[in-house]
Chains A and B, each alone.
Chain A
Amino acid sequence: MNLVGAPIDRVDGRRKITGTARYAAETPLPGLTYAVMVESTIPAGTIAAVDAAAATRASGVIAVLTYENAPKVEQHKVAGMTDRNLPLLQDRIVRYDRQPVAVVVADTFERATDAASLVRIRYDTSVPALSLAHGSGYHPEHSHGDEPSVYERGNVDAAFAGADVKIDRTYTTPVEHHNPMEPHATVATWDGDVLTVYDATQGVFGTRSRLAVAFGIPPANVRVVCPFVGGGFGSKGSAWAHTVLAAMAARAVKRPVKLVLARPQMFGSVGYRPATIQRVTLGAKRDGTLVSTLHEVRSQTSIFDEFVEPSAELTKMLYAVPNVRTINTVVPLNAATPTFMRAPGESSGSFALESAMDELAYAVGLDPLEVRLRNHADSDPSKQLPFSSKSLRECYSVGAERFGWSRRVPRARSMRDGGLLVGMGVASATYPTNRSAASALVRLSSDGTAHVFAGTQDLGTGAYTVFSQVAAEELGIPVSSVRFELGDTNFPMGPVSGGSQTTASVGNAVSVAARSARDRAIGLALGDPQSSLHGHDADAIDVRDGRIFLRDRPDVGDTYAAILGRHPQGEIEERGDARPGDEKTAFSMHAFGAQFAEVRVDPELGTVRVVKMVGAFASGRILNAKTARSQYLGGMVWGLSMALHEITRTDARSGRIMNANLADYLVPVNKDVPSDFEAYIVPEDDPNVNPLGVKGIGEIGIVGAAAAIANAVYHATGTRVRDLPIQPEKLV
C-alpha cells in the first residue's frame, strides 16, 4: 500500500469545515466564569497604587486579582528552551508595556470586560530602555541550542582584507507579532489539587510542567488538553502568563475560569520576533567565490529573560566559505520577552545573508543564481560533516525553470511593464532537521480499527492526517480505519510542536507503535490453532486492507477483526518510543529550497506588488503532498508578509506599542497574494536522517522569501532596501 505520500484530504477537515472542531475557548464547563486581564500602560516603573474598589463592586464580579492579593506562585522558569520567566502579579514592578497587572473574574464575559475597565492603577514611571541600536548588550552563552554565540572558523579579518570584492552592509528587521487567528485562550478548572487546563498551545507537556512548577504540584496533578490550535507559529510554543493566571483565578474563585486574550493583548505577553540589526560582510574573489563572511546580529530581549534570535546560524553552513565569523549580541529592553516565530533566525538571517549575496552578484557581474551555485556547500563546512541529503541544486533548477528565470534581464531597472518597473529576485532557503524523543500508543480493536494516541499537537500542519497515514500504512489498514487523537497529556509524551520537528519526532513513534501492534497481531494469528495462519512463519506474512495473509498464497489469511475477536481482551495495545540516534554525529541534516519572486513597482508611488512567487523545496520524504504544499505556500505568504507588510511600531518616547490590532498591524489578505504562486516538492530520498526519512516542512517556506522579494525590488528599481518591511516611502 502507498498510503504515505498520498495527497489525501485532511482527516480532521470535516470538523473544521462544519464548525465542530473544538478550540480551547470553546470548552463547555458547568459554572464557567470569565476572566479578563488588565495590562500596564507604561513600559517601566512600579505600581504606586491600585484602586480595585469600583471593579470589585461591579455587577457579577467575583474577584479582582492584583499584586496586592494574588496567591503566591513561582514565576521563574526552571529549564528547557521553551520555558519563560513570567509576570504573574507577584510584585509591583512593571517591566514592559502591556504587562498583566490585574485579572478580573465575573460571571459573564461582558461584566468581566466592563469591570476590567474600572480597575484604576497609578504608576511611578521610570526611564525605559527602548533602543536596540544604542542600548548596551551582551553576548549570550548560546545563540541557539548548544551553539556558541561567538563563532569563528579560519581568519575572517585577514581574508576580508585581502578579498578582491568586498560587501559590507547592515540590514534591519522589525518586531513582528505572530497573530494566529485564534487568540491565546485558557479554560482552567480545579478538582482539589488536580488542575485541568484546556489551552491553546503548541506543547501540552511544556504547559503542564510550567503549571506544575507555578503551583508547586506534581506534573501528574496537571492535565493539559488541546485537540485543536488555531495557528501558533511559535507564539503558543511556551506557556505564558495568561495560562497560569487563568489557573490562579480558577483556584481563587473555586470555579472554572475562561481567559481569552483580546486581539490587542496578542501584542502583549505572548512573544514576538525581536527586531534585529545585522551587519554582513562578504569577501569574494572576482569570480564570485566567497573567501569570508562576517555576520553580526544584534537583537532585543527583555530585561527579565533571555531570548536570542539566532539569525546567523544559517550563515555557518549555507555556503562553502573557509573563513566565517558569527556574533550574537542581545540587548535587554523594556519590552516583553521575544520568542520563536516561524523559522526564528533563519527567516530574519536569510533576509540579511541572501540580500548580501544579491549585492555580491551585482558587484561581480554574475547572475544571482550563478553566484549561489559557485558557492554551493557540498558538505557542511561548519560541522565538517556530510549532509544526510541535499538537493539544493535541484531546487535551484526546478524553481528557475518553473519561474521562468531566463526571462530576467541582468541589469537593474531594465525591465518594464507599461509604466511599472519589473523585477525578479532569487534566494536560497534552508532549515535544520530537528527531532526529539516521542512516544505513541496504538490500540487495535476487534472491529478492525486502530485508535492511535500521541501527546502532540496539530497547529494546522496536518499532523492528524499524516500520522493517520503512517499508522494505516504500517498496520495495513485503510486510513479511514484509523482514529488518531492528540493534544492531551494523558497520551504518551511528545515534544513541543516547534522547530519543524513534529513529524520527524512523533511520526517515527507512531510508526514503531503501529508496527509493533501489527507484529503482535500476526503473532497471535500464527499461534492460534483457530487461525488459518496457524504455524506459519512470520517472514512469509503480508498485511493489506486489514487482512493478514501468506505472501505466496494470498487466499490463506485472517483479518485483524477475526484475530482480535478471538482474543480474550478483544483488543491489543502497543506503545512505540522513538528517539534520535547517533545520526547527528555522522551527518548534518537540513532541508533546502530556492525562492523566486517577481514584482511590479510603481516608480511614482513606490508601491510594490508581488505578481509571482515560486518556491522549490526538498525536505526528504513527503507524507502528504497536499498538506505539505499548503505548508510551503503558507510559509511563502509569511515571507511575502515579512517583506512588505509586517512591523510592530513602538513609540520611541512612551515605549508603548502603537498598532496593536489587525487594522494597523498589516498581514496579507487574499488580494495581496498573487494567483501565480506555487510551491514545488523536489523529491528527495534520505535514508540517513531518521527511519521515516522526513525533514521538517513547516518553516522552510518563509526562509529566503523576504530576501527574494527584496532582491526583486532592487532588480526592478535599482534601490536596495535593507530595512524591512519594504514600504513605499523607502522607494520614492
Chain B
Amino acid sequence: MPVDVGPRAGPHPVPVTLTINGMRHDLTIEPRVTLLDALREYANLPGTKKGCDQGTCGACTVLVNGRRIDSCLTLAIMHTGARITTIEGLADGDRLHPMQAAFLEHDGFQCGYCTPGQILSAVALLAEKRPLDDASIREFMSGNICRCGAYKNIVDAVAAAGKQNV
C-alpha cells in the first residue's frame, strides 16, 4: 500500500474566457479542463462529441482559428482569444451550412455521433484547398472514424459541397 500523502487538492478553478461561435463565454474552470470538456460540460455546447478522449477518433473535431483540431487533446485555457467554431455555430440561423446540407442529402451519417466532427473536418478540408477527387477526400477525412460505416456517403457529401465552392 502506498503511503498516504494527504488529501489531494486539485488545481483551483480560474476564469477562462472563450470565444465560441462568435459568442463570449466566461467560464470558471480548472486549468486541466480540456477544450472538449469545456464545451460539453461547462459551456452547454454538447454538439461536439467525446468518442475516445485520446485523439484517436476525431469525434471532437472543432475549428480553432479556422484550423481543425481534436478538442480532447488540448486544454481550454490555451485558447483564450482564439476563434472557436463548433457544430452549433455552422448554420446561419435556420439556413444550413452547405456542408451540413450535403451530409443530410447524401445520408453521410447514421447514428450521428461522429457527424459534428466529420462536418467540421470537411469544412476545414475545403478551406485547406485540398484536391477534391475521391482518393484525396478519403485520405484527408481519415482522421474521423465513422463506426456506422457511412464513409462512401461522407465522400459523396464532401465532394458535392466542394463543387459548390463553399
Contacts and interface: CB of A to CB of B under 8 A. Distances in A.
Given A21-B112, A459-B111, A181 B54 contact: no
Contacts of B56: 263, 661-663
A19 B86 contact: yes
Contact of A28 (B2, B44, B144): B44
Contact of A18 (B40, B91, B138, B148): B91
> How extensive is the interface on chain B, given as a class?
35 or more
Contact of B110 (A120, A179, A260, A630): A630
B112 A634 contact: no
Count class of interface residues, chain A: 35 or more
14 contacts: A19-B88, A23-B113, A57-B8, A115-B8, A180-B113, A180-B147, A262-B53, A459-B111, A661-B54, A663-B54, A667-B145, A669-B142, A675-B138, A678-B152
Interface string A100-138: 000000001111001100101010000000000000000
A633 B149 CA distance: 7
B63 interface: no
A467 interface: no
A633 B152 contact: yes
Given A58-B7, A181-B145, A231-B113, A17 B119 contact: yes
A60 B10 contact: yes
A260 B147 CA distance: 19
Interface of B: 1-2, 4-10, 30, 32-33, 37, 40-41, 44-54, 56-57, 59, 86-88, 90-91, 96, 100, 103-105, 107, 109-116, 119, 134-135, 137-139, 141-155
Nearest to B87: A19
Contacts of B47: 18-20
The 3 closest A-B pairs by CB, nearest first: A19-B47, A637-B149, A230-B113
Contacts of A232: 111
B147 A114 contact: no
Most buried by B among A49, A627, A633: A633
A11 B1 CA distance: 56
Nearest to B134: A675
Contact of B111 (A9, A180, A670, A675): A180
Nearest to A12: B112
Nearest to B158: A670
Interface in A609-654: 626-627, 629-631, 633-638
A662 B30 contact: no
A13 interface: yes
B49 A230 contact: yes
Given A25-B50, A57-B7, A462-B110, 10 more contacts: A9-B104, A16-B109, A18-B47, A20-B47, A21-B112, A109-B41, A179-B147, A230-B49, A263-B53, A675-B135
Contacts of B51: 181-183, 263, 662
A9 to B, nearest CB: 5
A641 to B, nearest CB: 8
A22 B148 CA distance: 18
A59 interface: yes
Counting chain A CB atoms within 10 Å of each CB, the highest count among B4, B88, B139 belongs to: B4
Contacts of A22: 46
A59 B112 contact: no
A289 interface: no
B138 to A, nearest CB: 5
B149 A636 contact: yes
A387 interface: no
Given A260-B50, A633-B153, A111 B10 contact: yes
Contacts of A634: 110, 148-150
Contacts of A229: 111
Nearest to A662: B56
A630 B153 contact: yes
Contacts of B148: 181, 231, 460, 630, 634
Contacts of B57: 181, 263, 662
B51 to A, nearest CB: 5
A26 B59 contact: no
Given A57-B8, A662-B52, A669-B142, A13 B104 contact: yes
Contacts of A26: 40, 46
Nearest to A28: B44
A633 B52 CA distance: 24
Contacts of A260: 50
A264 to B, nearest CB: 8
A405 interface: no
Contact of A668 (B4, B30, B88, B149): B149
